[in-house]
Amino acid sequence: MRYEELAELAQQLRVDAVRAADAAGSGHPTSSMSAAELAAVLLARHLRYDFDDPGNPANDRLVLSKGHASPLLYALYKAAGAVDDEELLSFRRLGSRLEGHPTPRLPWVDVATGSLGQGLPIGVGVALAGKYLDRLPYRVWVLSGDSEMAEGSVWEAVEHASYEQLGNLTLIVDVNRLGQRGPTRHGHDLEAYGKRLRAFGWHTIEVDGHDVEAVDKAFTEATAADGEPERPTAVIAATFKGRGVAAVEDQEGKHGKPLPDAKAAVAELGGRRSIRAEAGKPPPAQVARPGGSGPRGGGPLEGGPLELPRYDTGSEEATRTAYGEALAALGSARGDVVALDGEVSDSTRAEYFKKAHPERFFECYIAEQQLIAAAVGLQTRGWVPYASSFAAFLTRAYDFVRMASVSRAGINVVGSHAGVAIGQDGPSQMGLEDLAMFRAVHGSTVLYPCDAHQTARLVAAMADLDGVRYLRTTRAATPVLYGPDEEFPVGGSRVLRRSDEDRATVVAAGTTVHEALRAADTLAEDGIPVRVIDLYSVKPVDVEALNDAAGATGCLLTVEDHHPEGGLGDAVADAFADGRPVPRLARLAVRNMPASATPEEQLHASGIDAESIAAAVKLLVERVVVR
């Protein structure tokens, strides 16, 4: 397509963005109009993508990080022939695939965007897959706004892309000068962005974003080999918000609003057009999968029977160790499993996978947002990621977890060193909010095993689940309660103590299971038999087992190494929220602010040790008798 035609295509994209927002009565047309030339040149001259086969592994990937500019993306899809004009004008309507911010309801959208600062970190994950796992020459294009360049997650991604030498990644920064409420930090100072990116080792190209010839040359330079080591490229483009319509161009206060007179704006832009732009076809390619070559020096991607670790019943082993050993075993059985860690793999035990399968391990360092984003990016290419860090530090990445759910992403997240049971390190290291965090995520699975065999089984099961899956592990060694061949279905539980005379039920998970068993022994000596449930599946919860226990004992006591809000206690209470008879419920949880102490002292100070459980059961039973 000639440059004159590219300029016309850009105008078409503007017109269609204006029309879509006008039909919806809402949207962000001015943010779309600034990047029209960038999108037009990319589609017609550089993007290699088969819109009829979005699953083609050789397709280039386009991530619209500035997701509010969705009218531009949908206009691009229309120009490519992927959507028609009727669907374009269904923008933001109930039932439409063209949502206010893009989601994978559209087959050409890999990840949901709109929470600014996420597109580039996820793009890094996709580029990692392309270079080191798929070993395919597809390019990852990320179209970003200038406002989101203030996000810390962007700079985690910038450094990581440079460190991993992702020459297959191009960032396009649409520097239109205006944010939501006024000018951005650096305005049209392209050098301000350039010098920061170059400081991290990026190749940068500064360009007039409305000059199609200059943009074309910049994209050509970005895709050219850039020496050794390979470097990611940023095309930093000066543009104007609302370009082409005098009433809104470069004007404050026009963000996130349809144009006041769409008909006049379309006329000013030269009217409607019907240009069809064909993206380039990707080259045929084979993907590295089980049985292929490992690209990071680790030899072939293995595949074989799953042989999970085995431990002696009655011995002691930390569930974090079982996680690492089970993950390494799973990696031997499945060549699509990959692992990521946030520079704590010696503690999370992800290092076992690293040693066994270095070609499929990614060190993300202390950058938890990039950790989760990379996992999301990797799974878009068909890989099964397990991302681990301390449970406490996953709070930094929670928005990425939330958006992973919106993206319909399948990722496994593992939080170690959870709860006060870690001991002397103190409250800054204690994950006490993680169960609530992950339970709140739409479609999530939350698991909290208490022993090594249970952990290993659940690690393996997670690989075949949908959505966001979270596994909580414990730092200290705990007794091995179960045999190596026992099954632990997701959504299930285990009853560890039961009799016909049980007067109460103690519901526990993880660390507190062992405290509950010790409490049950003490209570039995005092003539108070209790049922003990290991509720290893916190979401989905075993409603049937809880209702049986409630009917049999009338009293349920939950005990958890977690804050009372949103954790195990709430999960149990929710089991009775649909009209089932509600038993007497009581909760033990971490309600204090911990300080440094031994694990045993921590559990006692927080009122979740065996002694506290026994005392709570006695009080609960006495109150029932009085009633």
Residue pair 537/492 in contact by the 8 Å Cβ criterion: yes
User: What confidence score (pLDDT) does residue 229 get?
Assistant: 75
Q: Give me the half-sphere count of Cα atoms (radius 13 Å) on the Cβ side of residue 620.
A: 27
Residue 287: predicted pLDDT:
55
Q: What is the pLDDT of residue 578?
A: 78
Tokens of residue 384, six digits: 């099964």
Residue type, 47: L
| Buried/exposed 537-555: b ≥16 CB within 10 Å, e otherwise | bbbebbbebbebbbebbbb
Q: pLDDT at position 483, please?
A: 97
Model pLDDT for residues 357-392, shown as the tens digit of each residue: 999 999 999 999 999 999 999 999 999 999 999 999
The string of pLDDT tens digits covering residues 411-451 is 999 999 999 999 999 999 999 999 999 999 999 999 999 99
Pairwise CA distance, residues 60 & 130, whole Å: 10
Cis peptide before 229 (omega within 30 of 0): yes
| CA distances in angstroms from 554 to 509, 530, 549, listed in the order given | 20, 11, 7
Q: DSSP 3-state assignment of 537? A: strand
Peptide bond into 309 cis (omega under 30): no
Distance CA 51, CA 78 (A): 11
Burial of 253 (0-12, 13-18, 19+ CB in 10 A): exposed
Phi-psi group of 291: left, alpha or beta (phi > 0 → left; psi -120 to 50 → alpha; rest → beta): left
| Nearest of 310, 301, 311 to residue 335 by alpha carbon | 301
pLDDT of residue 604: 97
Instruction: Say what angle helices 319-333 and 452-462 make with each other, to 10 degrees.
Output: 40
Output the CA–CA distances (angstroms, integers) from residue 148 to 120, 142, 515, in the order listed. 10, 12, 47
Catalytic residue set: 368
Q: What is the 3-state secondary structure (H, E, C) of 75-109?
A: HHHHHCCCCCHHHHCCCCCCCCCCCCCCCCCCCCC
Considering all CA atoms of the chain, what is the largest pairwise distance in Å, rounded to the nearest integer?
90
Say if residues 579 and 604 touch (Cβ distance below 8 Å). no
Q: Yes or no: say if 87 and 97 are a contact pair by the CB < 8 Å rule.
A: yes
pLDDT value for 580: 72
- From its phi and psi, is residue 95 left (phi > 0), alpha (psi between -120 and 50) or beta? left
Mean pLDDT by groups of 10 residues along the chain of 627 residues: 97 98 98 98 98 97 98 98 98 98 98 97 98 97 97 98 98 96 94 98 98 98 78 98 97 95 98 96 70 39 84 96 98 98 97 98 98 98 98 97 98 97 93 98 98 98 98 96 97 97 98 98 97 98 97 96 97 88 92 95 96 96 65
